[in-house]
Structure 1
């Protein structure tokens, strides 16, 4: 697996990582044995970045990762967690005392003295604009509670504001064939500043898996059931903000553009990983098979069989025709 620099930290992380929202049971139940098996399959395939958050299963995802890594001395895996969603999303809650408490809880969950990377979890824009936010994060670095920090964002404007902060290691933002706006300014700005970019929601909550139809149903406790219009959190987090039926049509067209033998999800992950400025792509996985398939997408690059330029052309044509007017102005 190709390894890329994690900003200015001196660490490298795999071009394809593992997102672990699913392991917190926010996408339907995943038992612990299966969650541990997903982590093992990913690590065995060369994945060296696990992305989690303190609210995924109210800490369950962090705790499962901690138990897994405790059994793998010298694992070489970087754990990127997130904080800030345990409190109401108001700027006044993003203060040094809360940062310290949230980091301490994540350290306990993960069973570590120092967190590898902590990202603010899609905070209000006012938090990113406040110098005090970064003073507090710098203090956590100075105290040895965290090794580095970054910001997970909803919008390109937030990403650009975070990239301008000298201590920011990475930004995490939705990038996929249904969300192309970050390619315009965010990726070039991050590359110029030496800031890593984590591409999240790469398969648009599964719309780009090619498995869904108009009849597909999701569990009641799955955000793909209860957040389609942003009822619980930002609408862009669910199916990348794309109307479900429109997304199905777009996914069918993209799948049809690929040669026989190359699946849409693998091509999508590989295409994202090939974008200049992307450090790592963090698809989620609920099963060992999904984890292995996600990691294997890296083999499509180079001489691996994917005509990246042709797929890129298809992505832009479908986006411009079906999605741009609705999606591009929003995030």
Structure 2
């Protein structure tokens, strides 16, 4: 495992961490506490020391599993959770300091921890990023010892750039992958100037970049890849990075031609992300031990050559850029 500094937090965290949206079961298939425990501990056993969760993941069960795992280990494991998505309807007016405070305290109770290493606003509406009283709340929570750092999870580059204007924002979690390249332009430069930790989510474009999907692949009807392709339930950009599924398959087939000997493209897709020094870590999810090991096998590969990276980027330019680059 390799480690990088998480911005102003000064945490030294694993380049590949663990996201827990679907830990303990595939999307739509329900939560399995034993499986979640096994996945989390497999990641830690292999050098992962940063785990990302959220209060809404499995309605709090993910936080419970993460907290239990952290308390059972002797290693220093950094944990991040998120708050805000329980607000329903999920609109700007619903974001109130009193409500957010309660969410943070609920998370601490579920995880049975004294403090959260990193609390993140969970993809709030854009208007929330222009409300100073929301960000001031987290200074108070830090003074009370309930949180150590504040971060944000965002949908759009605009939101990321606004968030890092607040001095107490230490990290930004953002979608970035071979099919979502816009953040590497202005945002990465500005984040580096302000020592902001960049946490990359949806690194495999909801599995598209594993190269394992086909036009015949069927998803469970409770899986967001089945019901959210047009953004029916939450931001469209979360599912397949907002790309039309069939177009994504065409682009993936072109990438496969660059690596004809490779059966699983996931480690290569992660390695492409890690070629950006501004990034602190990637948080791929896992619904099995094998997926954890697959993600970590990135470190077993020879380094991508500049020629290979250029060829991968050319696929983005030809197939993807004109469709989504301007949207997020």
Compute the TM-score of the two structures, normalised by the length of structure 1: 0.95
Per the alignment, do residues 26 and 60 of structure 1 end up closer, same or farther by CA in structure 2, a change over 3 Å counting?
farther
Aligned length: 326
| Structure 1 segment 238-249 matched on structure 2, within 5 A | 238-249=239-250
Q: Does 1:250 align with 2:251?
A: yes
| Cα distance in 2, alignment partners of residues 139 and 308 from structure 1 | 47
Q: Structure 1, residues 143-177: CA drift from partner, whole Å, max 9, x if none?
A: 11111010000001111111221111100000001
Query: Which position in structure 1 is the counterpart of 2:308?
Result: 311
Are the counterparts in 2 of residues 24 and 58 from structure 1 also a CA contact under 8 Å?
A: no
Are the counterparts in 1 of residues 25 and 287 from structure 2 also a CA contact under 8 Å?
A: no
Query: Which position in structure 1 is the counterpart of 2:60?
Result: 59
In the TM superposition, residue 229 of structure 1 has moved relative to its aligned partner by 0.4
Query: Which position in structure 2 is the counterpart of 1:90?
Result: 91
Are the counterparts in 2 of residues 149 and 167 from structure 1 also a CA contact under 8 Å?
A: yes
Query: Which position in structure 2 is the counterpart of 1:80?
Result: 80
Q: Structure 1, residues 268-316: CA drift from partner, whole Å, max 9, x if none?
A: 111101212110011111110110111221333xxxx132423321222
Query: Which position in structure 2 is the counterpart of 1:279?
Result: 280
Q: Does 1:5 align with 2:5?
A: yes
Farther off after superposition, 311-320 or 232-241 = 311-320
In the TM superposition, residue 255 of structure 1 has moved relative to its aligned partner by 2.0
In the TM superposition, residue 200 of structure 1 has moved relative to its aligned partner by 0.4
Are the counterparts in 1 of residues 24 and 32 from structure 2 also a CA contact under 8 Å?
A: no
| Cα distance in 2, alignment partners of residues 142 and 262 from structure 1 | 50
In the TM superposition, residue 28 of structure 1 has moved relative to its aligned partner by 2.6
Q: Structure 1, residues 62-98: CA drift from partner, whole Å, max 9, x if none?
A: 11111222221x2211111111000032222222111
Please list every run of at least 4 consecutive aligned residues from structure 1 whose deviation after the TM superposition is greater than 4 angstroms: none
In the TM superposition, residue 189 of structure 1 has moved relative to its aligned partner by 1.0
Q: Secondary structure at the match of 1:80?
A: strand
Query: Which position in structure 2 is the counterpart of 1:22?
Result: 22
Query: Which position in structure 2 is the counterpart of 1:113?
Result: 114
Q: Does 1:298 align with 2:299?
A: yes
Query: Which position in structure 2 is the counterpart of 1:140?
Result: 141
Per the alignment, do residues 330 and 261 of structure 1 end up closer, same or farther by CA in structure 2, a change over 3 Å counting?
closer
Q: Which runs of 5+ in 1 are unaligned?
A: none
Query: Which position in structure 1 is the counterpart of 2:174?
Result: 173
In the TM superposition, residue 40 of structure 1 has moved relative to its aligned partner by 1.1
Query: Which position in structure 1 is the counterpart of 2:126?
Result: 125
Q: CA RMSD in A?
A: 1.4
In the TM superposition, residue 32 of structure 1 has moved relative to its aligned partner by 1.7
In the TM superposition, residue 259 of structure 1 has moved relative to its aligned partner by 5.7
In the TM superposition, residue 25 of structure 1 has moved relative to its aligned partner by 5.1
Q: Which runs of 5+ in 2 are unaligned?
A: none
Compute the TM-score of the two structures, normalised by the length of structure 2: 0.96
Are the counterparts in 2 of residues 81 and 117 from structure 1 also a CA contact under 8 Å?
A: yes
| Cα distance in 2, alignment partners of residues 24 and 136 from structure 1 | 32
| Cα distance in 2, alignment partners of residues 282 and 112 from structure 1 | 22
Query: Which position in structure 2 is the counterpart of 1:227?
Result: 228
